[in-house]
Amino acid sequence: MFPGLPYPPRDYHICPCCSTEFGNDDAEFSHIQLREMWIGNGAFWFFGNPPPRWNPWMQLFEGDHREAVPSFRTDLKSEAATKVEPRLVMTGLYTELSAA
């Protein structure tokens, strides 16, 4: 749920984030279903301008709905920006690694 609702989530108030009309839309659908529909339609801000730095996915993380965030079917791989190549340096007992 958007944490900055100007009114309590009832009495036909409308969420400016997802457009849910509380007392009407959530009489027909569960909040989970409404959230899925909002995400399925692109998770766009509904009314006016969103708050500064608003991001729908971060809002879901912060609201403890991590499971609802799509992975966008991507694979994420971390690589070093620095390439490390083992280089043997014969300095007595030491073996050094150099970073290129």
Partner 1 sequence: MPHLSIFAACEKVIIDQAGVASLITLFGKITISLPPEALEMPPNAVTPREWTIYSLWEWDPEDQGKRFSQHLEIRWPNGTVLVEKRDELVRVADRRSTQIVSPIAGFPIGEPGMISIHLRLEQDETPVFEAAPIHIEVVHTPRPAQ
Binding residues vs partner 1 (CB under 8 A): 42-43, 52-53, 55-58, 61-62, 66, 69, 71-82
Rounded Cα distance, 18 and 2, in Å: 8
Q: How many CB atoms lie within 10 A of CB 95?
A: 10
Nearest distance from C-beta of residue 81 to partner 1, angstroms? 3
Nearest distance from C-beta of residue 63 to partner 1, angstroms? 10
Half-sphere exposure of 38 (CA within 13 A, CB side): 28
Three-state DSSP at 61 gives: helix
Which of residues 27 and 81 has its CB atom nearest to partner 1 in the complex? 81
- What are 14's strand-pairing partners? 21
